[in-house]
């Protein structure tokens, strides 16, 4: 919405919620005051990005997710090599993992025999 009252209302509600919950990190009020959010509010289109900008940002977000070792909740052993990955990404991208991951649960360790580490890496990470 381009209405500045909507943003101010959201900021006030966030400030109240932060005080009620005694939140110090992350500071949602700072986020709502951020230039990035205000830039999104100024777009004429209801869509935040045109499709190429959205896809580029989406790709970069997933690239960062891959490069950072935070929140990787699945360990996969293939050919004496250990791979750490995100359950939800594996589940979304692979019919194989969509079938086996629910059987193992989150934060699991899976061994995959009869496959080289190189083949697995190409299949999953490229």
Asked, for residue 57, whether it belongs to a domain, the answer is no
The label of the residue with tokens 């999953």 reads 124
Read off the pLDDT of residues 25-48 as tens digits, 9 standing for 90 and up: 555 556 656 655 555 555 545 555
Closest CA to 101 of 88, 118, 82, 112: 88
Contact 91, 53 (CB under 8 A): no
49 inside domain: no
Over residues 57-77, the pLDDT tens digits come to 888 888 888 888 888 999 999
Q: What does the pLDDT average to over 104-114?
A: 86
Show the domain range for 112: 74-125
Q: Cα–Cα–Cα angle for 24, 25, 28, nearest 5°?
A: 95
Q: Look over the chain and give the mean of its residue pLDDT values, rounded to a whole number.
A: 76
* CATH number reported for the structural domain that contains residue 115 in this entry: 3.30.710.10
Specify the range with the lowest mean pLDDT, choosing from 7-21, 32-46, 60-74, 96-110: 32-46
Name residues whose C-beta falls within 8 Å of residue 124's C-beta, 6 or more positions apart in sequence: 83, 85, 90, 93, 94
Left if phi > 0, otherwise alpha if psi is -120 to 50, otherwise beta: which for 79? left
pLDDT at 1: 46
In percent, the amount of the chain with pLDDT more than 90 equals 17
The answer to whether residue 50 sits within a structural domain is no
Give the count of domains, the chain: 2
């Amino acid at each position: 919405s381009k209405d500045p009252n909507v943003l101010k209302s959201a900021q006030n509600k966030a400030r109240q919620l932060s005080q009620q919950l005694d939140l110090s990190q992350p500071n949602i009020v700072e986020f709502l005051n951020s230039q990035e959010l205000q830039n999104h509010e100024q777009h004429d289109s209801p869509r935040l990005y045109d499709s190429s900008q959205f896809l580029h940002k989406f790709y970069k977000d997933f690239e960062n997710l891959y490069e950072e070792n935070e929140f990787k909740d699945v360990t996969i052993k293939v050919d004496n090599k250990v791979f750490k990955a995100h359950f939800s990404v594996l589940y979304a991208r692979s019919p194989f993992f969509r079938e086996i991951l629910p059987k193992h649960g989150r934060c699991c360790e899976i061994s995959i025999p009869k496959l080289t580490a190189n083949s697995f890496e190409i299949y999953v990470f490229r």
